[in-house]
């Protein structure tokens, strides 16, 4: 077989925070990446990250970075509510894109971004990192090849200590756009909907509660709901991101069950199999907290640092994307259309919980606004 030669990649990273740094360090080791530029609005952070990833160009203005002729692809790793403008600018420049989830935090914006991506034809994938873990790939394969028969019921239970919630509510000026489903529940939802991709969701019914985070930051503690598919099969999802700070999972602790007419698959992804207890405070993870002395190793979704490098799904996901670009490989990354669908579903959970009634799926941005206005007027 004649081998094609791999293409070079000139990478722009917009947002040098936790995730921008991880992806930048991984990209810096990829043989086809011969240029890395960083746009970061905080000067100290920009300097620190540029040095760690050996950036060839640093700026606070992503437009200046996108104007560089070396750039062929971009990672958009700004805060959740700040993805839209850099995505649209990158699409205009026709860059291949890796976008952190969610596509946007508002449905109108997500629709706008999806339209721009689709009409430009640029290759855009979204960071649903868990798709790169072997356990979810193995589960997907069993469902896809009919080992369970026809799937009738899926359950997912996500438990998180409140550090991610507190961090997200602190970073936004609009707490109404932040919810456990939109920011974190979207990962479990994507895994399940990816496995259920042959079925069409038609209705959602959900409830939320805000007793712990409500008084602290006007936030939602937990959401539980049920999606019904066209053929009557059910997906029940629950998430709480308001567990006490000392709950040992660094971020995510998940339990999934999939029942079919001919089989069942249960996946314990709570990470209770490796427990660390120490008198030292834990300095790793999404939002480290000195009071946490017990940790479920493996519960930080990007992976674990060992021998100075991140090992785990975010590394595999980033490398797979760079190989996709340089060698035109097919990968299991979420598409922009799937990411928009996940935002729509998480917004539908929140809308049903707010209205306290079942909602037909799919919803659009104008549906969402009209239904909320109608209830306010009632």
Positions touching ligand NAD (CB under 6 A) are 14-20, 39-42, 45, 62, 77-80, 82, 86, 100-101, 127, 129, 301-302
Q: At its nearest, how many Å lie between ligand NAD and the CB of residue 181?
A: 13
* Spatial separation of the C-alpha atoms in residues 34 and 52, rounded to whole Å: 16
Task: Tokens for 14, please give them.
Answer: 């917009």
Angle between helices 365-377 and 107-120 (to 10 degrees): 170
* Spatial separation of the C-alpha atoms in residues 356 and 353, rounded to whole Å: 5
Q: At its nearest, how many Å lie between ligand NAD and the CB of residue 308?
A: 19
- Measured CA angle at 102 (ends 165, 106), to 5 deg: 90
Contact 217, 152 (CB under 8 A): no
- CA neighbor of 226 nearest in space, from 207, 247, 254: 207
Query: What three-state secondary structure class fits 377?
Result: helix
Nearer to ligand NAD, 41 or 224 (CB): 41
Contact 226, 206 (CB under 8 A): yes
Indicate the helix (H) or strand (E) that contains 324: helix 313-327
Other CB atoms within 10 Å distance of the CB of residue 124? 28
Q: At its nearest, how many Å lie between ligand NAD and the CB of residue 168?
A: 8
Nearer to ligand NAD, 101 or 157 (CB): 101
Which residues partner with 260 through β-bridges?
151
Nearer to ligand NAD, 260 or 301 (CB): 301
What percentage of the chain's residues is helix, strand, coil (to nearest 5)? 40, 25, 35
Nearer to ligand NAD, 23 or 199 (CB): 23
Q: At its nearest, how many Å lie between ligand NAD and the CB of residue 44?
A: 10
Q: At its nearest, how many Å lie between ligand NAD and the CB of residue 28?
A: 17
Contact 299, 251 (CB under 8 A): yes
Measured in Å, how far apart are the chain's first and last C-alpha atoms? 68
Nearer to ligand NAD, 102 or 260 (CB): 102
Task: Tokens for 221, please give them.
Answer: 């503690």
Q: At its nearest, how many Å lie between ligand NAD and the CB of residue 134?
A: 16
Nearer to ligand NAD, 48 or 255 (CB): 48
Q: At its nearest, how many Å lie between ligand NAD and the CB of residue 4?
A: 30
The residue nearest ligand NAD at its CB is 17
Nearer to ligand NAD, 83 or 199 (CB): 83
């Amino acid at each position: 077989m004649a081998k094609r030669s791999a293409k070079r990649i000139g990478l722009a990273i917009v947002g040098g925070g936790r995730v921008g740094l991880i992806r930048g360090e991984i990209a810096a080791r990829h043989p086809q990446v011969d240029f890395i530029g960083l746009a970061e609005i905080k000067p100290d952070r920009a300097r620190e990250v540029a040095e760690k990833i050996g950036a060839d160009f640093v700026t606070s203005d992503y437009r200046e970075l996108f104007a560089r002729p070396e750039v062929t692809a971009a990672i958009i790793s700004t805060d959740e509510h700040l993805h839209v403008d850099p995505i649209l600018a990158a699409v205009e420049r026709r860059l291949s894109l890796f976008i952190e989830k969610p596509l946007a935090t508002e449905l109108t914006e997500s629709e706008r971004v999806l339209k721009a991506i689709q009409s430009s034809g640029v290759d855009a994938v979204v960071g649903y990192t868990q798709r790169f873990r072997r356990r979810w790939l193995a589960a997907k394969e069993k469902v896809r090849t009919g080992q369970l028969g026809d799937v009738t019921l899926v359950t997912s239970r996500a438990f998180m200590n409140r550090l991610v919630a507190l961090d997200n509510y602190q970073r936004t000026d609009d707490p109404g756009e932040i919810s456990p489903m939109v920011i974190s529940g979207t990962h479990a939802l994507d895994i399940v909907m990816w496995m259920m991709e042959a079925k069409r969701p038609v209705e959602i019914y959900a409830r939320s509660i805000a007793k712990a985070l409500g008084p602290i930051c006007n936030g939602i503690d937990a959401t539980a709901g049920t999606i019904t598919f066209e053929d009557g099969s059910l997906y029940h999802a629950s998430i709480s991101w308001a567990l006490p700070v000392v709950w040992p999972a660094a971020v995510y602790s998940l339990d999934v069950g999939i029942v079919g007419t001919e089989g069942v698959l249960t996946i314990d992804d709570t990470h209770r199999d490796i427990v660390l207890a120490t008198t030292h405070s834990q300095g790793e993870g999404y939002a480290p907290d000195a009071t946490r002395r017990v940790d479920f190793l493996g519960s930080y979704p990007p992976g674990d640092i060992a021998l100075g490098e991140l090992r785990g799904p975010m590394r595999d996901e980033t490398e797979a994307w760079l190989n996709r670009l340089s060698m035109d490989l097919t990968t299991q990354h979420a598409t922009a259309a799937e990411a928009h669908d996940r935002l729509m579903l998480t917004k539908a959970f929140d809308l049903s919980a707010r209205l306290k009634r079942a909602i037909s799926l799919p919803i659009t941005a104008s549906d969402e606004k009209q239904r909320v206005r109608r209830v306010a007027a009632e």
